[in-house]
Amino acid sequence: MAYFRKLDPKLVKLQELLNKNERWLILINADPDALASAMALKRILAGRVDQVGIAHVNEITRPDNLAMIRLLRIQTKKLTPLLAAQYDRFALVDSQPHHHPEFASFRFSLVIDHHPKVAGTPVDADYVEIVSEYGSNSTILTEYLYNLGLRPGKLLATALLYGIKTDTQTFEREFHDNDMKAFRYLSKFYSRPLLHKIIRSEFRLEWLKYFTQAFRKMRVMGKTITIFMGRVDSPDILVILADFFLRVHGLTMTMVSGIHENKLIVVFRGDGLRRDMGKFAKRLFGDVGSAGGHKSMARAEIAMEKLGCQHASQFIWERLHMSTEVKKKKKEPENGACGCKK
């Protein structure tokens, strides 16, 4: 039995796309899994096309991401129209075209992702590989490297292993058996000192003040903690806090929100046992902004003008209250058209 799934028919189709006279740009919404995936795809395309570049659409501020880029020598640039004009074909990894507004203007030749598909939003590309049961996109790219007989070097193996580690939260979140297989396979090639250096670069000194604020502002509702942080220097702070508070014994969900660059951002984390965070985020905010994610982690972003004169914390609280009321009504005995119990 093969160690990974066989990709022979897919590889034939993929290689048919590649032309030695064309230049490819790999687009990402940069995080460890996306950075590692882009690095792996660049390795796959190298020598098969004229040139390969990587471009990110978001601002990279998290210290561990910056350390990863520096220590693993990942050559990524901020996406600009001038940069995009230098390339013939575009690839997208660890995202789908509808995940970020800047992706919408591109015609992608290749999309490789592990996030769930959205009904009514098909992914239009010449080559599409979406494996939503995997916990990490780095697992998919590790399979491609393996099937192509490309052994990952120390830097690439470290990147892919860290991508799997972060997206599965060291296998505490949902994962597939192949995530574990890929992790085990990559552990033969990675650099332990480099990985430890990246992991130990998680916080900025100036971010520690937000922990004090979070303890003061947190609200406990049963087994859920909600925190509205007000304006924050980076949305990454909300992610760090949501992950941190989910470690509290007895909690099943955290919901940490804040305002950054005229957007209300809400980060959801759950234990993955009862409530689906992706569906919950979409139900709360899908009608006013972008919202969705996985069973145990999700995110919503709403433009501040959508709130009108309402304060952001009150807006969130009312949405939560409305959701609770809907849930209560669903639990009530069903009534007939006349109001009598069936």
Quote the mean pLDDT of the chain. 89
Question: Where is pLDDT greater, at 309 or 14?
Answer: 14
- pLDDT exceeds 80 at position 322: no
pLDDT confidence bin for 320, thresholds 50/70/90: confident
pLDDT at 333: 43
Please give the average per-residue pLDDT across 247-257, as a whole number.
Answer: 93
CA-based max dimension of the chain: 73
Q: Nearest Cα to 150, choosing from 78, 47, 236?
A: 47
In this prediction, residue 341 carries a pLDDT of 39
Distance CA 34, CA 18 (A): 22
pLDDT for position 325: 52
Q: How many percent of the chain have pLDDT more than 70?
A: 94
Q: Where do we find the tokens 């491609």?
A: 144
Confidence of residue 324 (pLDDT cuts 50, 70, 90): low
Helix residue ranges, H only, the chain: 8-17, 32-45, 63-71, 81-84, 137-147, 154-167, 177-186, 192-199, 208-217, 236-245, 277-285, 312-331
* Weakest-pLDDT range from 25-34, 72-81, 265-274: 265-274
Q: What is the pLDDT of residues 296-305, one digit of tens each?
A: 889 999 999 8
Which of 13-22, 40-49, 58-67, 180-189 is predicted with the least confidence, judged by mean pLDDT? 58-67
Confidence (pLDDT) at 257: 95
Q: What is the mean pLDDT of residues 332-342?
A: 41
pLDDT in tens, 53-106: 999 999 898 889 999 999 999 999 999 999 999 999 999 999 999 889 899 899
What pLDDT sits at residue 336? 41
pLDDT score of 335 more than 60: no
Higher-scoring residue by pLDDT: 174, 166: 166
pLDDT band at residue 166 under the 50/70/90 scheme: very high
**Mean predicted confidence (pLDDT) in 123-129:** 94
Does the pTM of the predicted model rise above 0.75? Answer: no
Own/partner pairs, 233-240, CB within 8 angstroms, 24+ separation:
233/61, 233/206, 233/207, 233/260, 234/59, 234/61, 234/62, 234/260, 235/260, 235/265, 235/267, 236/61, 236/62, 237/207, 237/210, 238/265, 238/266, 238/267, 239/267, 240/202, 240/203, 240/207
pLDDT of 308 reads: 78
Q: Going by C-beta distance under 8 Å and a sequence separation of 6 or more, which residues neighbour residue 311?
A: none
pLDDT value at residue 259: 94
pLDDT at 87: 97
Q: Is 177 helix (H, G, I), strand (E, B) or coil?
A: helix
- Percent of the chain topping pLDDT 90: 67
Domains of the chain (ranges; CATH) run 8-199 (3.90.1640.10), 208-330 (3.10.310.30)
* Structure-model confidence comparison of residues 325 and 80, the more confident one: 80
